[in-house]
Amino acid sequence: MRQFKLDKIKATGTTVGDVHFPKVKLLLPFDGSNGATSTTDSSNDNNSVTFVGTAQISTAQSKFGGSSMLFDGDSDYLTVTNSSFSTFNASGATFTIEFWVYFNSISGQQDFVMNYANSSGGLVIRKTSGHVIQTNLSGDGADITGTTTVSAGQWYHVALSGSSGSYKLFLNGTQEGSTYTGALGAGSSTYQIGAFYWSGSLYGPLNGYLDDMRFTAGLARYTSNFTPPTTAHSTSAGDVNKHIVVNSDADGVAIGSGGINQARIAKAWVNFAGTNGSINSSYNVSSVTDNATGAFTVNFSTEMSGATDYCCVGLAEYVNGSNGLHIYGANSQGTSLPSTSAFRIHVLSYTAGVNADSGPVHAAFFGN
Return the domain boundaries, the chain. 21-217, 265-367
Report d(CA 226, CA 222) in Å as an integer.
7
Using 50, 70 and 90 to split pLDDT, how confident is the model at 16? Answer: low
Torsion on CA atoms 101, 39, 221, 182, rounded to nearest 10: 80
What pLDDT was estimated at residue 125?
A: 95
Question: Which residues have C-beta within 8 Å of that of residue 250, sequence separation ≥ 6?
Answer: 19, 20
Half-sphere exposure of 124 (CA within 13 A, CB side): 31
Using 50, 70 and 90 to split pLDDT, how confident is the model at 15? Answer: low
pLDDT, tens digit, 9 for 90 and up, residues 39-67: 999 999 999 999 999 999 999 999 999 99
Given 3-state DSSP classes, what are the helix, strand and coil percentages for the chain, each rounded to the nearest 5?
Answer: 5, 40, 50
**pLDDT higher than 90, residue 73:** yes
- Tell me what the pLDDT averaged over the chain comes to: 83
Question: Which residues have C-beta within 8 Å of that of residue 41, sequence separation ≥ 6?
Answer: 26, 27, 28, 47, 48, 49, 80
Region 248-271 average pLDDT: 58
Half-sphere exposure of 75 (CA within 13 A, CB side): 5
H or E element in which residue 282 lies:
strand 279-283
CB 115 within 8 Å of CB 192: yes
What pLDDT was estimated at residue 258?
A: 42
Q: 283 vs 64, 168, 288, 307, CA distance in Å?
A: 39, 29, 12, 19
Query: Which one of 1.20.950.20, 2.60.40.10, 3.40.50.10190, 2.60.120.200 gives the CATH number of domain 21-217?
Result: 2.60.120.200
* Number of neighbouring beta carbons within 10 Å of residue 54: 13
Torsion on CA atoms 27, 33, 37, 40, rounded to nearest 10: -20
Report d(CA 162, CA 181) in Å as an integer.
10
H or E element in which residue 190 lies:
strand 187-193
Report d(CA 55, CA 29) in Å as an integer.
15
CB 97 within 8 Å of CB 89: no
CB 288 within 8 Å of CB 279: yes
**pLDDT higher than 60, residue 251:** no
Using 50, 70 and 90 to split pLDDT, how confident is the model at 328? Answer: low
Report d(CA 27, CA 104) in Å as an integer.
23
What's the pTM value of the predicted model, to 2 decimals?
Answer: 0.66
Region 132-136 average pLDDT: 95
Indicate the residue type of 344.
R
For residue 103, give the nearest of 126, 123, 78, 80 by alpha carbon: 126
DSSP string across 217-235? ES----SS--PPPSSPPPS
Angle value at C-alpha 109, between 108 and 114, nearest 5 degrees: 160
